[in-house]
Amino acid sequence: MLNNFSWQTGHSDFAKLSLTTPNGASAEIYRYGAHLTSWKTRSGREWMFLSSQSLFEQGKAIRGGVPVIFPQFSGFGPGPRHGFARNMEWRLSREPHNGSCTFLLEADESSLAAWPHKFHAEFTPTLADDQLTMTLLIRNIDDKPFTFTAALHTYFAVSNVHQVELSGLEGLTYWDNNGSDFHKDRFVQKGNSLNFPGAIDRVYFACTGPLQLTDGNHKLSIQAEGFRDVVVWNPGADAAKNLSDLADDEYQKMLCVEAAVVDQPITLAPGEVWSRSQILKELS
């Protein structure tokens, strides 16, 4: 049960909410983007990567943590890349209770200019000693249907990306973002484990089981409830040099394993609700 929460001043005077459990687990969530930037288990292990060069500026995405991607994943649509939700001010609609709180975003003039639909979005992190559950909820409050893609773009902190392993992928179909056609060029993962000698940018489809991230003696279970797709991304050395909000060598300290809905976009009729979660649990 949560016994402490407080509002603090974070980077660039942005407001952030700090959550703590009695046994010392913690999380930090910025009001800007409802962006979770830190999650430590009771062991003290920080599982979220945050770039030292991240831009905490209005209209700019925070590099690291868990950007909320809505209503468009990447460039899969006509709108802004990765949508607008990560660059907007959310408000706390439910104060922390029993380890959980809820941030709310609703359509305004700026969002309607980018995407002409009225919506209600909620991001709910739930903190326990060794577990973090993050839930994204979308409600259509418009008078017409709308279609979207979405993701929790989770950046994990690792000791060295070249030495970690992601398992649980065997038999899954995936698309490799190397200039191939998203709908036609698909492959099957042959081995159970994935290593990262270089850059990677893949979407794995119809992933129903948990994945496991192994970083030396540290292990993390990564489970998605309802999100059908998993994005695995690391820019590698060359592309990292082109990212102004990432130090050249910081790519070695991160790995994105994202709960996503990309392959089959979601259509909601007026009044309908869609809710999905990513569940992270430290195993050792």
Q: Indicate which residue of 122, 250, 258, 282 is catalytic.
A: 258
CA angle 194, 196, 198 (to 5 degrees): 140
What contacts 242, CB < 8 A, 6 or more positions away?
none
pLDDT value at residue 242: 96
User: Does the predicted TM-score (pTM) go above 0.85?
Assistant: yes
Mean pLDDT of the chain: 95
pLDDT tens-digit map of 20-49: 999 999 999 999 999 999 999 999 999 999
User: 117-155: b or e for each residue (b if 16 or more CB lie within 10 Å)?
Assistant: bbbbbbbbbbbbebbbbbbbbbbbebeeebebbbbbbbb
User: Torsion angle of alpha carbons 73, 140, 105, 134, nearest 10°?
Assistant: -60
CATH 2.70.98.10 fits 4-282, yes or no: yes
Q: Indicate which residue of 35, 117, 153, 282 is catalytic.
A: 153
pLDDT tens-digit map of 57-110: 999 999 999 999 999 999 888 888 999 999 999 999 988 888 899 999 999 999
* 158, two tokens: 């690792």
Given a cut of 60, whether residue 199 has pLDDT beyond it is: yes
What contacts 126, CB < 8 A, 6 or more positions away?
99, 100, 132, 133, 134, 135
Q: What are phi and psi of 237, to 5 degrees?
A: -65, -45
Given a cut of 70, whether residue 1 has pLDDT beyond it is: no
The yes-or-no answer on residue 258 being catalytic is: yes
